Amino acid sequence: MISKLPKWVEYGAFVLALTAGYVNGIGLLGFEHQAISHLSGTATLIGTDIINSHPVKLVHLLSILAGFFGGALLSGFILKDGTLSLGRRYDFLLIVEAALLLGAIYPMSHNAVYGLYLAAAACGIQNGLVTSYSGAIVRTTHITGIITDLGLMFGARLRGQPVNRRKLVLFVVITVGFVLGGTLSAMLFPILQEKAFVLPAMVCVTLAFIYRIYMRRARIHLKAIAPNQARD
């Protein structure tokens, strides 16, 4: 499946991974030090808090999980299935993601935890968007599976099996993008605080705008060649 993806997928995956790493960095550097873009640690803490009887923290963690789930649910509802198909409403979901990130600024700047839930929903949208966008091959809001796949690839290489270079490049690009996003958040958060969410929101809006222009040009091109195909 990866070998059939268009070349520009790597560029989009890098930008989205950079955005997710940046958003997660803000969550970790903020007042709750809360991971936003992935749920493995959150799910573990939910389990421990059930036993340790921390009801307020438990509700908070469940709300993070629910926010992420809600974002992914919206992606699934809008996109309908996981098949890559240009013309679907990826631009709409990117705009919603941007709106959620902007909406998180005010509450987080006042230490209100529901801002984190909005940011988690934004990450859920992005994760659902990219899963659908790439045929459930890659995700850009966390890299656990990608590091696992890279380990499997290099383990197979040690046995003499060839490495799928396209797959390798894609996974390395996502990993580097996510790490650089965290680096960028560490540079800008001390200066901008929660207003640092403006940057990934602008990235989402820009990607949506580029996608809409691309689709408009693609439709014009198809209309132009349709008469010629009919004559043939």
User: Tens of pLDDT along 182-218?
Assistant: 999 999 999 999 999 999 999 999 999 998 998 888 7
Q: DSSP label at 3?
A: G
pTM of the model: 0.88
Q: DSSP label at 163?
A: P
Q: What's residue 135's pLDDT?
A: 47
In 3D, which of 164, 86, 82, 168 has the Cα closest to residue 127? 82
Rg of the chain in Å (alpha carbons): 19
Q: What's residue 66's pLDDT?
A: 97
Which alpha helices (DSSP H) does the chain contain, by range? 9-29, 40-52, 55-79, 90-103, 105-109, 114-133, 144-158, 165-192, 198-231
Q: What's residue 136's pLDDT?
A: 40
Q: For the chain, list residues with pLDDT below 50.
A: 132-133, 135-136
Query: Rounded to whole angstroms, how far apart are CA atoms 155 and 157?
Result: 5
Q: DSSP label at 139?
A: -
Contact 42, 64 (CB under 8 A): yes
